[in-house]
Amino acid sequence: MAHMIVAGNWKMNASKSAVTELLSGLKDNVASVSNAELVVFPPFPYLAQAQAELMGTGIRIGVQNICAQDKGAYTGEVSLVMAKEFDVSYVLVGHSERRALFAEDDSQVAAKYVATQAMQLTPILCVGETLEQREQGRTLSVVNGQIQAVIDAAGGASFAHAVIAYEPVWAIGTGLTASPKQAQEVHRAIRDHIADVAPEQARGLKILYGGSVTVASAEELFAQADIDGGLVGGASLQADSFLAIGRAAK
Ligand code: 13P
């Protein structure tokens, strides 16, 4: 299994033709990435296309959000059972855009995390502080609080089957990136926090950095001891830049 994960969160960007172009670019050159598992997170309407195109390539598929319920009267929602039919492996839970724009709170995020694991899929739990919280010196308490909500619901051992993405809100879509040192500091604190309750799982846990990762910034970020890859937004929409970020995983 690759040491690193490089995941591309397409957010609400794509079209049939753009997806065709992006997926074929990824397929054609995936062999150039040797030390990262690549994962794409298309919007739901493109899952079938991603499944068909990526079969046998080693590139995995994830979804950007999920409903914690199995089925029923939940208009507009998509279940894990449905996602699984499209060979989905990963589920983003608690992305800051879900938290901020769709009012998802820690308890909903924890419910999605638990439901994802119950379906034998891997949640990528997203955590991160706002600029205001950082300036108030609350970064670690905010991030650890978001993680603690999941520990309380699922237990520390659950991190054997999860990934964390640290995404400082102030670095998302802004062109600002946490410096490798700033990111490493938070990644280390996250690992230590989980190690308090689950030392073995904390050691093996993959913690991705997200927030304006680019071809230029990836290599130094990924070289940090506790950074195990990236969750990439904008730069994952072009095959060339996404693959170059994948190659930055050494
Ligand atoms: P950007 O890379 O566009 O800043 O997005 C980061 C992100 O939110 C990935 O989930």
DSSP codes of every residue in 182-199: HHHHHHHHHHHHHHTT-H
Q: How confident is the model at residue 83 (pLDDT cuts 50, 70, 90)?
A: very high
pLDDT tens by residue, 106-124: 999 999 999 999 999 999 9
Say how far apart CA 210 and CA 41 lie, in whole Å: 14
Q: Domain 4-247 is of which CATH architecture?
A: Alpha-Beta Barrel (3.20)
**Stated pTM of the model:** 0.98
Q: Under 8 Å CB-to-CB from 225, ≥6 apart: which residues?
A: 184, 188
Percent of the chain with pLDDT over 70: 99
Q: Where are the alpha helices (DSSP H) in the chain?
A: 16-29, 47-54, 80-84, 96-101, 106-118, 131-135, 139-154, 180-195, 199-204, 215-222, 239-247
Using CA atoms, how far apart are residues 27 and 13, in angstroms rounded to an integer? 19
Contact 49, 19 (CB under 8 A): yes
Question: Would the pLDDT of 1 be above 80?
Answer: no
Parse the chain into domains and list their residue ranges: 4-247
pLDDT > 70? residue 2: no
- Say yes or no to pLDDT of 175 above 70: yes
205-249 per-position pLDDT tens digit = 999 999 999 999 999 999 999 999 999 999 999 999 999 999 999
Q: Ligand 1: distance of its center to the CA of 180 in Å?
A: 16
Q: Is 210 in the pocket of ligand 1 (CB under 6 A)?
A: yes
pLDDT digits (tens, 9 = 90+) for 24-81: 999 999 999 999 999 999 999 999 999 999 999 999 999 999 999 999 999 999 999 9
96-100 average pLDDT score = 98
Residue 177 Cα to ligand 1 middle (Å): 10
pLDDT in the model for residue 3: 86
What is the rounded distance in angstroms from the CA atom of residue 186 to the CA atom of residue 143? 8
Q: Work out the percent of the chain whose per-residue pLDDT is above 90.
A: 98
167 given a catalytic annotation: yes
Annotated catalytic residue, options 53, 167, 187, 193: 167
Would the CB of 9 count as within 6 Å of ligand 1? yes
Of the candidates 95, 97, 129, 193, the residue annotated as catalytic is 95
Residue 90 — very low, low, confident or very high, per pLDDT cuts 50/70/90? very high
Contact 161, 200 (CB under 8 A): no
Provide the pLDDT for residue 146: 98
- The residue type of 190 is I
Task: State if residue 167 touches ligand 1 by the CB under 6 angstroms criterion.
Answer: yes
What end-to-end distance do the CA atoms of the chain give, in Å?
A: 14
